[in-house]
Amino acid sequence: MKVLVVGGAGYIGSHCVRQLQAAGHEPVVLDNLVFGHRSAVAEDVPFYDCDLGDPEVVGKILKEEQIELVMHFAAFAYVGESVTEPRKYYENNFVATLRLLETMIDNGVKKFVFSSTCATYGEPESLPIVETLRQSPINPYGQTKLDVENCLKAFAHAYGLSFAAFRYFNAAGAAEDGTIGEDHNPETHLIPLVIDAATGKRENIKIFGTDYDTPDGTCLRDYVHVDDLSRAHIAVFDKLAEPGAGYFYNLGTGTPNSVREIINAVEAVTGLKVPVVEDERRAGDPPALFADSSKAQQELGWEIKYKDVKDIIATAWRWHQSHPKGYED
């Protein structure tokens, strides 16, 4: 399948491009390189440095490259910033995605795979989180993703778009061979920050809240390997053959780990001591979020290769060791 990967130079997108190639598909990347890295994408993959919200340019790419399916990973994803600068999030995550979908429909490309998030659930009513739980985001980031999900349902019904939206839990880790990995600027995610504290790149790791109603008082999250996520995106292709079909899947391992457990696991994997500072709670952090992903496992045959968070951290550590400063570009 000829697949346009929008945001293919970003963290999850670049891993998906590699998995597409490994599975015999033909990825084409579109990325404006605001957050993406050109060197995260192999030279032999067609690459377009442009905006996804430009119908003329995107329409031309869809036609010339004979694209059959679009995967969309490009979004702003800083929850705190989405609260202080919601315009940016509605513009980039919702309006630009709407333009992309319109351009697809106008050009007869009607298969779509979307990066959604567990942030669409907000504070979940029960755990583990199943897809049918009420979605009630508590910040504009989660809201814009939910808005796109709703738009997809309407487009499937009206225009025969077939789609899958994956609600990611905490994406983590790096390619097994250590050649591509996580490089955000600024970095806000726990695992890379703990690794930086272990190596001395940061002074310490601050634990945001130690008085939660959890076994060790710190927040529980569901860390899932980026290559496991990527494989689900490809496993859904067959289901998108039917016009108007729409699917929502949670992607997480189902095993929660606390912030303290992550710190201990980084110490075990790296053999280094992590300086820790106990800090206040971070606004908007639910105490526990973890997935029931049995729907993806049953319907897509999705297999979780990295079940132990230490194995996920080991890949992040390998990437960090070979690229201590991240990507060159």
Q: Tell whether residue 226 is a contact of ligand UDP (CB under 6 A).
A: no
Whether residue 46 contacts residue 2, with contact meaning beta carbons closer than 8 Å, is answered with: no
Whether residue 117 contacts residue 167, with contact meaning beta carbons closer than 8 Å, is answered with: yes
Q: Tell whether residue 285 is a contact of ligand UDP (CB under 6 A).
A: yes
Choose between 38 and 206: whose C-beta lies nearer to ligand UDP: 206
Range 147-186, binding ligand UDP (CB under 6 A): 170
**Of 48, 141, 223, 306, which is the active-site residue?**
141
Short-list 306, 211, 305, CA closest to 265: 306
Q: Tell whether residue 229 is a contact of ligand UDP (CB under 6 A).
A: no
Minimal distance, residue 72 CB to ligand UDP, in Å: 19
Among 64-72, 91-99, 153-161, 189-197, the segment contacting ligand UDP (CB under 6 A): 189-197
d(CA 66, CA 305): 33
Minimal distance, residue 199 CB to ligand UDP, in Å: 15
Choose between 86 and 284: whose C-beta lies nearer to ligand UDP: 284
Tokens of 8: 């293919």
Range 194-223, binding ligand UDP (CB under 6 A): 205-208, 219, 221
Q: Tell whether residue 65 is a contact of ligand UDP (CB under 6 A).
A: no
Short-list 308, 216, 301, CA closest to 253: 308
Q: Which amino acid is at 131?
A: E
Whether residue 83 contacts residue 139, with contact meaning beta carbons closer than 8 Å, is answered with: yes
Choose between 162 and 170: whose C-beta lies nearer to ligand UDP: 170
DSSP code of residue 114:
E
Choose between 32 and 170: whose C-beta lies nearer to ligand UDP: 170
Q: Which of 99, 189, 239, 260 binds ligand UDP (CB under 6 A)?
A: 189
The 3-state DSSP class for residue 166 equals strand
d(CA 263, CA 87): 35
Range 298-317, binding ligand UDP (CB under 6 A): none
> Cβ-count burial of 127 within 10 angstroms (0-12 exposed, 13-18 middle, 19+ buried)?
middle
Choose between 144 and 170: whose C-beta lies nearer to ligand UDP: 170
Minimal distance, residue 172 CB to ligand UDP, in Å: 8
Binding pattern for the stretch 258-277 against ligand UDP, x by CB under 6 A and - elsewhere: -x------------------
* Binding residues with ligand UDP: total (CB under 6 A): 14
Minimal distance, residue 71 CB to ligand UDP, in Å: 21
Short-list 113, 159, 78, CA closest to 5: 113
Q: Tell whether residue 190 is a contact of ligand UDP (CB under 6 A).
A: yes
d(CA 184, CA 72): 18
Name the closest residue to ligand UDP (Cβ).
219
Whether residue 225 contacts residue 305, with contact meaning beta carbons closer than 8 Å, is answered with: yes
Q: Which amino acid is at 37?
A: H
Q: Which amino acid is at 125?
A: E
Whether residue 296 contacts residue 125, with contact meaning beta carbons closer than 8 Å, is answered with: no
Residue 89 annotated in active site: no
CA dihedral over 61, 63, 66, 70, signed as positive or negative? positive
Minimal distance, residue 169 CB to ligand UDP, in Å: 8
Site residues, ligand UDP (CB under 6 A): 170, 188-190, 193, 205-208, 219, 221, 259, 282, 285
The residues annotated as belonging to the active site are 141
